[in-house]
Amino acid sequence: MTAELVRGQNHPLPHTRLEIRVTAGAPVLACATLGGAGGTVPGAEWIVHPGAPALPGIEVSRRAAPGLRFHIDLDAMPERVERVHVLLALPEGVGGPDRFGATAAPFAAVTSTDGTEIAGFTLTGLDTESAVVALELYRRRGAWKVRAVGQGYAGGLAELFGDQGLPRAGALAAGIQETAARHLAGAVQAPLPGAPDPAPRAAPQPRAPEPQDRPGTVPAQQPAPQSGTGAGGAVGYAHPGRRASAPPAPPPAAAEPAPGSPPRPVAGDATGWTMDERLYNQVWGMFEDLARTTAAYRGAMDFAESRMDQELDRVLADPRNRVGGAGDSAREAVRARHDQLADRAREALDRDLAQLTAESEVVEPALPPAYARWDSPVWQGYRVPMELPMALRLGDVHLPERPDLRIPMLVRLPLERGLWIDSGRSGSEAALMTDGSRLRGLAMDTAVGLAARLLAVHPPAGFTVQVIDPAGSGAAQLAPLTASGVLDEPPAAGAGGVAAVLAKLTRRVDLVQMAVRAGTPESLPPELDTAEQLLIVNDFPHGFDDRAVTQLRYLADEGPAVGVHLLMVADREDASGYGPVLDPLWRSLLRITPLPDDHLQDPWVGHAWTYESPVVPAGSRVLTDILGQVAEARRSWPH
């Protein structure tokens, strides 16, 4: 399965002969620089560009176009080359956009020579920049990896080359631009097969003043992810690499704000080819805004505290200030300066949080079912969809500076990693104060709610849920699934049931993997269920022997790539008898909790985000009604 990278994330390269395919909303030109271990480029002869499109191991497109390809053979690279920077730039003087913020975000896909995608990266967050380092390929312990960079330069190629230490960077950039302009004037390039229409997208409406530039995602995302957090891993902020067949409609126009006031927020004012994509990008933009705003506030407060400590030390170091009124006056002046800095920081934070709150109040009611809370009116008009949405809401996250400002936690579909719902009394204070049996019940309620969401957002018969409940302890919580008829089989019980379900899913993974690798999907047995599969496991490790544990680990590792996903409800302490053998399993799953817990960490500034699971309102029939519609659609759908 393709890895959708976020800025700063890396991914191993399983092949050394590669293509990098770039699609954009306007013509761009391709360059690459080759450097040593420190990233230094020795000279202009180590750059490939439209005027000199080939060096040993790499070749780039000669013309600027909305669709480009880099051809790379890492084995053919000179030994001294340790890093390859993939660069994109907008042509100058040809009448096109002069900044990336005025066109669609470029998308770069790293593929094998047979076209299989290895990793993708959407370069979001660009504004005034006209050149960008998109990707970095680098050696690490004899193997090659790719890193998503996304570093833009408002000064264009000249500033970029200067940053890489190249002499006469301005003249070099001008020569490349002149060559690209001649080629662009001499021919019209067709986009790559499957690329979007190169017509530029409409620029989004102005956003509220931001304390810092938005770094670009996801997505969760971004999430994106991904840096670890010990307890449960990082939030996955994966950003979409979607390509559409038509340019997006312009976002709705905002009403004219009063003079001097910030622009009024508008739902769907982010870039994207569909409203779903625009809302997805806007939600993760709000997440990034909150992360950066809070980081700026915390940094300002730390600075104020540090400055006060230093000034107090200097005051106390002067013997004349140790007695009498002079010392008191000096200390009061130091504290007054500290309070002034703190008040200024808080004022900026309050202003930015107020704007984010206003945006949340506009965006939340506009979210489609896949992104919406259970109490949203959008569920009242729910109909079983005919196509898969791009993401799913797993819950909400917030920071202690503004607990009531909750940002939807969205993850891309299909799921790229399994979920572990922690039923143990560890982590948060709320979990420690909750009875163990109640906590296990809440964990199963969370699992059933997430399973219902997954069923609700998939097309009919496109998603199948299976349940392992060895002792039957989750029967009460599983009632919405069992009573509605959305389960093809009752929950598996006992060691025999565990073995049967795991054997069936393991065989499915094996068969699909072999068919995919052989390029013969038609060879799959006709009775094989090719729908996406979700396996809910309750009360692990009860009913599991060593063979079953091994199969479970195999499903967690290999299943997502071929449509088998794992949702475990477990207390890690219960499985401590297996020792470190289960550590890879826990690390491969995204830990979420039935009660609020601040265990999730973002990959940009390292905030500890508090996660809250989606809760069905007390007395609401939304879950029952939705599952009833899903069950009816599954029964009437032709098989």
Average pLDDT estimate for 369-386: 93
Whole-angstrom Cα Rg for the chain: 27
Determine how β-strand 131-140 pairs with β-strand 608-612: unpaired
Q: What is the mean pLDDT of residues 596-617?
A: 87
Per-residue model confidence (pLDDT) at position 455: 96
For 26, the enclosing helix (H) or strand (E) is strand 17-35
Least confident of 230-239, 512-521, 542-551: 230-239
Peptide linkage before 541 cis (omega within 30 of 0): yes
Q: Would you list the DSSP string of 299-356?
A: HHHHHHHHHHHHHHHHHHHSGGGSSHHHHHHHHHHHHHHHHHHHHHHHHHHHHHHHHH
> Can you give the pLDDT at residue 167?
84
Q: Which helix (H) or strand (E) holds 109?
A: strand 107-112
419-520+527-595: CATH superfamily: P-loop containing nucleotide triphosphate hydrolases (3.40.50.300)
Name the least confident of 258-262, 300-304, 615-619: 258-262
Residues near 572 by beta carbon (within 8 Å), at least 6 away in sequence = 422, 424, 426, 586
Answer yes or no: are the C-beta atoms of 270 and 282 closer than 8 Å. Answer: yes
List 289's β-bridge partners, or say none. none
Residue 193, pLDDT above cutoff 80: no
Q: Which pLDDT tens digit goes with each residue over 10-19?
A: 899 998 899 9
3-state secondary structure of 30: strand
Q: Letter for the amino acid at 202?
A: A
Please count the other Cβ atoms lying within 10 Å of the Cβ belonging to residue 277: 20
From residue 598, how far is each of 79, 231, 325, 401, 606 by CA, in Å? 46, 10, 46, 13, 12
In this structure, how many other beta carbons lie within 10 angstroms of the beta carbon of residue 34?
Answer: 23
358-374 b/e with 16+ CB inside 10 Å = b? ebbebbbebbbbbbbbb
Q: What is the pLDDT of residue 528?
A: 86
Mean pLDDT, residues 82-99 taken together: 88
Question: Which uninterrupted H or E stretch holds 518?
Answer: helix 494-518
Distances (CA, A) of 580 to 231, 248, 539, 576: 15, 49, 19, 8
User: Which residue, among 448, 3, 424, 411, has the nearest Cα to 234 in the 3D structure?
Assistant: 411
User: Distance of alpha carbon 138 from its chain centroid, rounded?
Assistant: 22
pLDDT of residue 227: 31
Percent of the chain at pLDDT exceeding 90:
46
Q: Which two tokens stand for residue 525?
A: 């047995």
Nearest Cα neighbor of 575 from 609, 537, 627, 518 is: 537
CATH code for residues 3-186:
2.60.60.30
**pLDDT, tens digit (0-9, with 9 covering 90-100), for 319-364:** 776 666 777 788 888 899 999 999 999 999 999 999 999 999 999 9
- Which of 256, 279, 255, 284 lies closest to 267, judged by CA? 279
Residue with structure tokens 């805004």? 289
User: Mean pLDDT, to the nearest integer, of 207-217?
Assistant: 31
Task: Write the CA distances from 203 to 104, 249, 270, integer angstroms.
Answer: 9, 10, 9
**Separation CA 458–CA 85 (nearest Å):** 39
DSSP letter at 234 equals B
Here the tokens at position 221 are 């995302």
Beta-sheet pairing, 597-601 with 608-612: antiparallel
pLDDT of residue 183: 62
Mean pLDDT of 166-184: 82
- CA separation (Å) from 34 to 82, 135, 149, 161? 8, 12, 15, 12
Q: pLDDT tier at 484 (50, 70, 90 boundaries)?
A: very high
Alpha carbons 324 and 79: distance in angstroms, whole number: 71
In order of 88, 99, 304, 414, 627, the CA distances from 96 in angstroms are 15, 9, 46, 36, 50
Q: Which pLDDT band holds residue 136 (cuts at 50, 70, 90)?
A: very high
pLDDT band at 235 (very low <50, low <70, confident <90, very high): very low
| pLDDT surpasses 50 at 220 | no
- Asked if the peptide bond before residue 408 counts as cis, ω within 30 degrees of 0, the response is no
Enter the DSSP assignment of 384.
-
Percent of all residues in the chain with a pLDDT value above 70, rounded to a whole number: 85
Q: Rounded CA gap, 585 and 269, in Å?
A: 39
Look at residue 211 in the predicted model and tell me its pLDDT. Answer: 29
Burial class (CB in 10 A: 0-12, 13-18, 19+), 382: middle
Q: What is the mean pLDDT of the chain?
A: 83
d(CA 55, CA 60): 9
Rounded Cα–Cα distance for residues 551 and 547 (Å): 6
Question: Which residue type sits at 154?
Answer: A
Which residue from 337, 298, 297, 339 is spatially nearest to 314, judged by alpha carbons? 337
- The pLDDT score that the predictor gives to residue 178 is 84
